[in-house]
């Protein structure tokens, strides 16, 4: 069976070099697209659904991490980057491997071997035992938490949103979900939708993590309003929210949060 791959790198000569090395090490691999930025990579992955995506991390539009978090199919990811500070985040995004530039043939060969082992076990879910061990090893390199550190910032309890001349004071317990929409963030309640300028990244840091969880790079859900989950024929996970007619997709990186459901 042919394995299809996408390569994304904003430096074309590096993308060509990686493609040439892969052709030498894995002749059966078919590179179906080469993307020059994160937005193009996300679009091509969604359209082509390749088995593999070799992603640079720092790219225009969307980073490789954001592209990986937005994948809703079965595409597995290998990060190829010049920066090693993203390693833990890479494995949290369920990468098969994380390769530093400049990529040597010996290192890439180990990556190819790891990918083949992963693809040879199609019943295994992304983020299997090998990735779990790698993530654990990386996390051991991080500094231990300071027991004297403060309990953290006070959690957000109210959201202020304006509609015309009226400013609404919204209790966050009434919010079904937050979703990024172009320059704004939509605040959805059972009664109405409001717009605020606070970005998703800032919201997720200020909300109570026991109640609000990020399920997509653009969506934060209030678990108190979760009605259930559904998987489609491609094993993609969707959330059903009380008081809301439409389901919300869960990115692959966040699926483990709902594994017990």
pTM equals 0.53
| pLDDT tier, 33 (very low <50, low <70, confident <90, very high otherwise) | very high
Report the C-alpha gap between 34 and 54 in whole angstroms. 9
Report the C-alpha gap between 168 and 127 in whole angstroms. 42
CB 29 within 8 A of CB 23: yes
CB 18 within 8 A of CB 65: no
Reply yes or no on whether the pLDDT at 107 is more than 70.
yes
For the domain made up of 158-258, give the CATH fold.
Answer: OB fold (Dihydrolipoamide Acetyltransferase, E2P) (2.40.50)
Which phi and psi angles does 219 have, rounded to 5°? -135, 135
Report the C-alpha gap between 66 and 79 in whole angstroms. 12
Highest mean pLDDT among 55-69, 73-87, 123-137, 239-253: 239-253
207/134: higher pLDDT: 207
Report the C-alpha gap between 162 and 261 in whole angstroms. 36
Residues 110-117, mean pLDDT to the nearest whole number: 92
Q: What percent of the chain has pLDDT over 70?
A: 83
CB 38 within 8 A of CB 59: yes
Give the DSSP H/E element, type plus range, for residue 160. strand 158-163
Give the DSSP H/E element, type plus range, for residue 25. helix 12-25
Q: What is the pLDDT of residues 35-56, one digit of tens each?
A: 999 989 999 999 999 999 999 9
So what's the pLDDT on residue 142?
40
So what's the pLDDT on residue 90?
61
Q: In the chain, which residues fall in CATH 2.40.50.1020?
A: 158-258
Q: What is the pLDDT of residues 170-217, one digit of tens each?
A: 999 999 999 998 788 999 999 899 999 888 888 988 899 889 999 888
Q: What is the dihedral of CA 190, 195, 199, 204, to 10 degrees?
A: -20
Report the C-alpha gap between 146 and 139 in whole angstroms. 15
For the domain made up of 4-139, give the CATH fold.
Answer: Rossmann fold (3.40.50)
139/184: higher pLDDT: 184
Reply yes or no on whether the pLDDT at 28 is more than 90.
yes
DSSP classification of residue 104: P
Rounded alpha-carbon distances, angstroms, from residue 97 to 111, 113, 133, 183: 6, 11, 12, 33
């Amino acid at each position: 069976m042919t394995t299809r791959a996408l390569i994304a790198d904003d430096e074309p000569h590096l993308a060509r070099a990686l493609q040439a090395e892969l052709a030498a090490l894995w002749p059966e691999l078919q590179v179906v697209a080469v993307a020059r930025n994160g937005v193009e990579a996300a679009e091509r992955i969604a359209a082509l659904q390749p088995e593999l995506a070799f992603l640079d991390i720092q790219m225009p539009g969307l980073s490789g991490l954001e592209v990986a978090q937005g994948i809703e199919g079965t595409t597995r990811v290998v990060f190829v980057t010049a920066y090693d500070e993203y390693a833990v985040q890479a494995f949290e995004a369920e990468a098969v491997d994380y390769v530093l530039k400049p990529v040597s043939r010996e290192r890439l060969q180990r990556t190819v071997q790891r990918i083949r082992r992963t693809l040879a076990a199609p019943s295994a879910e992304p983020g299997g035992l090998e990735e779990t061990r790698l993530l654990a090893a990386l996390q051991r390199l991080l500094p231990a938490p300071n027991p004297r550190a403060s309990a953290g910032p006070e959690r957000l309890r109210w959201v202020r949103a304006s509609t015309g001349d009226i400013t609404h004071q919204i209790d966050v317990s009434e919010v079904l979900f937050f979703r990024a929409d172009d320059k704004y963030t939509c605040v959805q309640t059972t009664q109405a939708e409001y717009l605020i300028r606070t970005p998703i990244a800032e919201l997720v840091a200020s909300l109570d993590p026991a109640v609000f969880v990020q399920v997509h790079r653009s969506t934060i859900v209030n678990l108190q309003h979760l009605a259930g989950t559904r998987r489609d024929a491609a094993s993609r996970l969707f959330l059903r929210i009380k008081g809301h007619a439409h389901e919300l997709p869960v990115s692959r990186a966040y699926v483990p949060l709902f594994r017990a459901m």
